[in-house]
Amino acid sequence: MTNQPKLRPAIAALPTYKAGKKVAGVDGLEPFKLSSNENPTPPLPSVVKAIADAANDIHRYPDPFVTELSEKLAKKFEVPVEAIATGTGSVGVCQQIMQAVADIGDEVIYAWRSFEAYPIITKIVGATPVEVPLTKTGHHDLPAMLNAITERTRLILICTPNNPTGSVVNHKELKEFLTKVPKDILVVIDEAYVEFNRDDESVVGLDLYREFSNVGVLRTFSKAYGLAALRVGFFVGPLNVADAVRKTAVPFGVSNIAQAAAIVSLEHEDELLARVQELVKLRSWFESELKKLGFNLPASQANFVWLPLGDRTDEFVTKCAELAVAVRPFSGEGVRISIGEKPALERVLDALSGLN
Ligand SMILES: Cc1ncc(COP(=O)(O)O)c(C=O)c1O
């Protein structure tokens, strides 16, 4: 017997989520954070006003059903409102999905490397992660993912554009894959970065949701809409799953401030998507500069790029830190660099040109 309360074994073995680091100050240099795939543009004045107005009501609980936002989303995507479930960021919704479909010992398949929260939230519910390595080009290996399906598979996560490689899954290939997945296994297409995608042949999650009874889509207001701190994301999926995902939500999890900001963001979507287009242009510029330095990378369709620097990763990250720029290292593998402010990206290029 120990003198500490016992934890579930699955929890004791959990890795801790590594959030993108803040930048340590360097004399005379403005610090930049390119480590969390955040939107560098500040909120729209209309959004700030909605937040300020909503602040007057924070002594009341928020609408637990997130009614107005869900209705707006249902209208936008032409889906029944019952197909929508919201939560505290799409990672919160993803955890709600896990709790809804995966029991202890069940299996959850996803590509690896991919979004770092997947293994954590899989293990929280006591399910077993089945990680299928990406191909050499950083793409999902759909045939291998199909082969990984067993009797215990309950959920397959498809991250497109994939974090951290920025690669997308081809629509036709995923459709072909879905025809072979048993219909009692939920397939969730995580489209956190979809607004940054300019590849016409890549997955259109909502089309696949309409076509397959076991497909759902995960979206967020954190990236293109710039509401990362407010924690609001949503799922569009089969009615029975959406219903279950509402049941597993933390009650009142999406604050009134988050709801109000998301609603106003949808109303000003054109302005926000114009800003996204600027970031996409900046990504193209950054990628062409990287090519000039000799990096031949597959195109990223997200608001970040992946540099497979292997054992030079740590050295490069230190060089960036010396220039007051935080990037996201995956030691021994590579670095993910968010498309943030241009001066920050210029410093990253300086750090790269000085690399051994
Ligand atoms: C692929 C992917 N999905 C989901 C999320 C979660 O975003 P949020 O919880 O802010 O909606 C992230 C965040 O980085 C991500 O990279």
Ligand 1 center to residue 10 CA distance, Å? 23
pLDDT at 19 over 80: no
Q: How far is the CA of 96 from the centre of ligand 1 (A)?
A: 14
- Give the mutation target among 223, 225, 301, 328 for probing the ligand 1 site: most ligand atoms within 8 A of CB: 223
**Cβ 220 under 6 angstroms from ligand 1:** yes
Helix (H, G, I), strand (E, B) or coil at 305: strand
Give the per-residue pLDDT at 208. 98
Name the more confident of 144 and 295: 144
What pTM value is reported for the model? 0.96
Atom of ligand 1 at shortest distance to CA of 232?
11
Q: Which residues pair with 70 in a beta bridge?
A: none
How far apart, in whole angstroms, are the C-alpha atoms of residue 338 and residue 164?
Answer: 10
| 3-state secondary structure at position 316 | helix
Distance CA(195)–CA(27), nearest Å, equals: 36
Angle at 318 between CA 337 and CA 19, to 5 degrees: 50
111 Cβ contact partners less than 8 Å away, ≥ 6 residues apart? 131, 132, 133, 134, 140, 141, 145, 158, 159, 162
Do 266 and 76 contact (CB within 8 A), yes or no? yes
For the segment 6-11, the average pLDDT, to the nearest whole number, is 87
Residue 266, classified by CB atoms within 10 Å of its CB into exposed (0-12), middle (13-18) or buried (19+), is middle
Calculate the average pLDDT of the chain.
95
Per-residue DSSP letter, 233: E
User: Which residue among 39, 86, 90, 167 has the greatest number of ligand 1 atoms within 8 angstroms of its CB, and so is best to mutate?
Assistant: 90
Ligand 1 atom nearest 37 alpha carbon: 14
Both tokens of 18, joined, read: 């590594």
For residue 144, name the pLDDT band (cuts at 50, 70, 90): very high
pLDDT of residue 20: 67
**Is 190 a pocket residue for ligand 1 (Cβ < 6 Å)?**
yes
353 C-alpha to ligand 1 centroid (Å): 31
**Cα distance between the two ends of the chain:** 53
Say if residue 157's pLDDT is above 70. Answer: yes
Give the pLDDT confidence score for residue 127 in this predicted structure: 96
Count of C-beta atoms within a 10 Å radius of residue 208: 21
Q: State mean pLDDT over 303-309.
A: 96
Closest CA to 243 of 68, 71, 74, 82: 82
- What is the distance in A from the centroid of ligand 1 to the CA of 233? 9
CA-closest residue to ligand 1 atom 12 = 192
Helix, strand, coil content of the chain in percent (nearest 5): 40, 15, 40
Looking at residue 326, its amino acid is: A
Q: What DSSP letter does each residue of 149-181 carry, written as one string?
A: --TTEEEEEEESSPTTT----BHHHHHHHHHHS
- Closest by alpha carbon to 165, among 306, 334, 330, 338? 306
Mutate which of 220, 304, 306, 330 for ligand 1? The one with the most ligand atoms within 8 Å of its CB, which is 220
How far, in Å, is the centroid of ligand 1 from the Cα of 201?
23
The answer to whether the CB of 96 is under 6 A from ligand 1 is no
Sequence-separated (6 or more) residues with CB below 8 Å from residue 274: none
* Cβ atoms of residues 129 and 122 within 8 Å: yes
